Amino acid sequence: MRPRIFTWHIHGSYLYYLSKGNYDIYIPVKEEKSEGYYGRGETFPFGDNVHEVPVEKINDLDFDCILFQSKKNYLHDQHEILSEEKRQLPKIYLEHDPPWQHPTDARHVVDDPEVLIVHVTHFNSLMWDNNNSPFKVIEHGVTEPQAKYTGELEKGIVVINNLPTRGRLLGLDIFLEVRKHIPLDLVGMGTEDLGLGEVLHPQLPDFISKYRFFFNPIRYTSHGLAVCEALMLGIPVIGMATTEMPMVISNDINGYVHTDIQKLVQKMKELLQSRQMATELGAGGRKTALERFNIQRFANDWEETIKHVIATFRPMLFSN
């Protein structure tokens, strides 16, 4: 029998890619569809290995592992919806982000040698104080889109949800400054005031494939799935040389990153002037994505990790 994982629906696109592994995923649902309890939703084409479970029936089912994806999951949700017996199961905490409170001195919420912390980048793993918890890195994996890069639109595209309210951290000021010099479109939830609004995930590759380049103005966050998806599409990626980006992008080979905004603007102008240059740079990015962010590698890493945790981290069974 393949492993049965209980988790919450926190990041839809990540959950979709996670579901490509050989295991079953169970997610709780509530009538009010609150954070973590949305169910499968209608945005992502989940396979039949993603199962919705009403919260009142969770403890009637058997699971092999609990996967936390937020502080709320770990500190509150598990105690509210899981029985004491279920809380004795092997546990993984998937950390999606770098530390927010302090870049180097923030201690992770998990401090338990029986809980494995999985970071999505080596930068995140480096910056977090992981306390006494074991930890490892599983880098992103994304599927290959059917869309192909064409780049006929002489514009850049930015893909960030709620950028107007997320400020400097996500590079709002950088976006606004660059847009004074370069034609840029913005898509994402909550971007109607500054951009085009939301484009649903399944339609996103085809939508952005026509733009000349993809711009990621984010200063400090995890290595975004949107960047990996852009690389896989073959659209050239321009971004800030911060967090994990310099470990992924080699300038003028598979993209371009810098901390000098003027140099980024200059590179964008060059790409707008030369579709051929953009195509070649995007091809380099796609090669990187196929080698580093392919979905089979990602699925294999998760399958091995889950099996290891179930076999190695299982504590004593609950008893009265």
Angle at Cα 164 formed by Cα 7 and Cα 245, nearest 5°? Answer: 65
In terms of DSSP H, where are the helices of the chain?
A: 12-18, 71-72, 78-81, 122-127, 163-166, 172-179, 204-208, 225-233, 245-248, 261-273, 275-292, 295-312
Per-residue confidence (pLDDT) for residue 34, from 0 to 100: 87
- Read off the pLDDT of each residue in 76-83 and give the average, rounded to a whole number: 97
pLDDT tens, position by position, 213-256: 999 999 999 999 999 999 999 999 999 999 999 999 999 999 99
**pLDDT value, residue 242:** 97
According to the model, what pLDDT value does residue 315 have?
59
Average pLDDT, the chain: 95
- The mean per-residue pLDDT over the stretch 72-84 comes to 97
At 45 the pLDDT is: 93
Q: Percentage of residues in the chain with pLDDT exceeding 90?
A: 94
Once rounded to an integer, what is the mean pLDDT over residues 296-313? 95
Contacts of 125 (CB under 8 A, 6+ apart): 119, 135, 136, 137
Provide the CA 113 distance to its chain's centre, in angstroms: 25
- Measured CA distances, 20 to 48, 97, 183, 310 (Å): 11, 22, 37, 19
